[in-house]
Amino acid sequence: MILETFPNPNPQRDYHIHMEIPEFTCLCPKTGQPDFATLFVDYIPDEQCVELKSLKLYIVSYRNRGAFHEAVTNQILDDLVSVTHPRFMRLTAKFYVRGGIFTNVVAEHRKRGWEPAPMVDLAQFEAQSNTR
């Protein structure tokens, strides 16, 4: 399945894209039983953004594939990074309970040399203005 991209409309700015994919399925490579997960993709694009319809079709392509949780999480991240070349990307895979065990796998990519801007905490400024 081919992942498509489109040009980042604001490449001069770091901004966060968050996607939730609640219907991910693959097969356990040991038992053939289905595994279900919610995937969370968080990224700061550089020049390209992932096109959502192609992402949906790509994700559905795992439905009948056997894959360990750790392997499939890293493969999806690698595939997304290879087409978008983001400044930062994190994929969190939250697999539903199987045999009494929940599995969460988090994989990250950071573009060499990229550093995030310091976080601005507006709550701190609100607290200061309320004490005046």
| Active site amino acids | 28, 35
One-letter amino acid for residue 18 of the chain: H
How far, in Å, CA of 97 to CA of 54, rounded? 28
Non-local (6+) Cβ contacts of 60 within 8 A are: 1
